[in-house]
Amino acid sequence: MPSAYRWVLVVVMVLNLSACSTIKGWFEVDDDDNPKQPAELIDFDETIKIKKLWSHGVGDGQGDGFYHLQPAINGSVIYAAAADGTVEAFDKISGKSLWDVELEVPLSGGVGVYEDALFLGSSDGFVLKVDAGSGEVQWTSRLNGEVMAVPASNGEVVLVHTLDGKFQGLDFATGELLWTYDSNVPVLTLRGSCNPLLNGDVVYVGFANGRVLAFEVETGGIIWEARVAISQGRSEIERVVDIDGTMTLLGDELFVASYQGRIMAINTTDGRRLWQNNVSSFSGVSQGFGNVYVADEDGTVTAYQRNGQGERWQQTALAYRGLSRPTPVGSYLAVGDREGYVHFLSQVDGQMAGRVEADDDGVRADMVAEDNIIYVYGNSGDLIAYEIKPKE
């Protein structure tokens, strides 16, 4: 396990699952003695033009809680939230600020969006529904656990995954608690929670025990359960198999990856495994060009053929750089790293196509893209829009 990520493990107290603490000093290794130093950046002939369209600072960004607050696009607007409670809306093309608010809560999860509503989670267990046109808070609901995942909604139920292993449904109009599922949380987990993934009246979510469950949105009833990873090893650290990263859905195929486990394709009708390969990822998966993409904890970016026929390509030049979830943009694939660079790879063969330094503090949150524009939200709070085009 890379030393830079060992500190994000949390102890979940068996007798009180809502109480957890971050392990920092126990597993730190001096950089001079660390055999897994981030790879030096290599020179290559860039084949794309990267044009910065606009940028804005949003509060203190991810703050100090190892959060993954990510921007969200809704029509012509992009929203971003910061750990200090700042929420801001921008025109996604021009970058013009449309409104901003300073909420009185520390934010740790979001931004979720459904039509004219935004959903945010706080580090002290609050869920907020905010008007997407003004930033006005419409309701606040108190849960027990820290909300690090992005809340999701279908306009009737708001779905919230908290760090204490609970998955809960709230009433869209009032915030009233409708139902709760309580998962079995291991002794040690990564500091994060899997984002709920909605598909009509069904929602999929991964848990720290290495399982993915499908639920009925209205009732919270379990439709099926699939095991993505199995805990192995003598120590509790070796047995960590969290599903924290973002999942992706295409038709009736769900793609998911776990830490110290597997990447797996699951049939959403019955939870049946379609194919799997061994990986260890904390950032999640994406898809494009008939491929499923994943960044391993060791910095290897791999494209697996969606049909289960194995690897299409691998890129190993970014070893141990703490990569974010791969994000398709046009014909390319973007990954951020802990030093704040965003690297662009060809979706066809994985070759390096371009690189830009976005944020000195690093990039770990999921990026979002539309057509040939990608939006990067750096750890310090810089929200940047880049246009990606091939060189002529």
C-alpha distances out from residue 286 to 131, 261, 333, 382, Å: 29, 17, 10, 23
Residue entry with tokens 């919230």: 160
Beta bridge partners of 40: none
Domain residue ranges in the chain: 67-182
| Structural tokens at position 110 | 């979001």
Retrieve residue 284's tokens.
């999640």
Domain 67-182 sits in CATH at: 2.40.128.630
Name the maximum alpha-carbon separation found in the chain: 62
Model pLDDT for residues 324-358, shown as the tens digit of each residue: 999 999 999 999 999 999 999 999 999 999 999 99
Q: Is the pLDDT of residue 136 over 60?
A: yes
Which tokens sit at 288?
A: 């494009």
* Listed residue (365, 372, 371, 373) closest to 58, CA to CA: 365
Give the integer Cα–Cα distance in Å for 277 and 295.
13
Token pair, residue 218, equals: 């209205």
pLDDT confidence tier of residue 19, bands split at 50, 70 and 90 = very low
Residue 301 to residue 32: CA distance in whole angstroms: 26
Tell me: pLDDT of 388 over 50: yes
Chain centre distance of CA 217:
21
| Amino acid identity, position 362 | G
CB atoms within 10 A of CB 238: 13
pTM: 0.91
Is the model's pLDDT at 24 over the cut of 80?
no
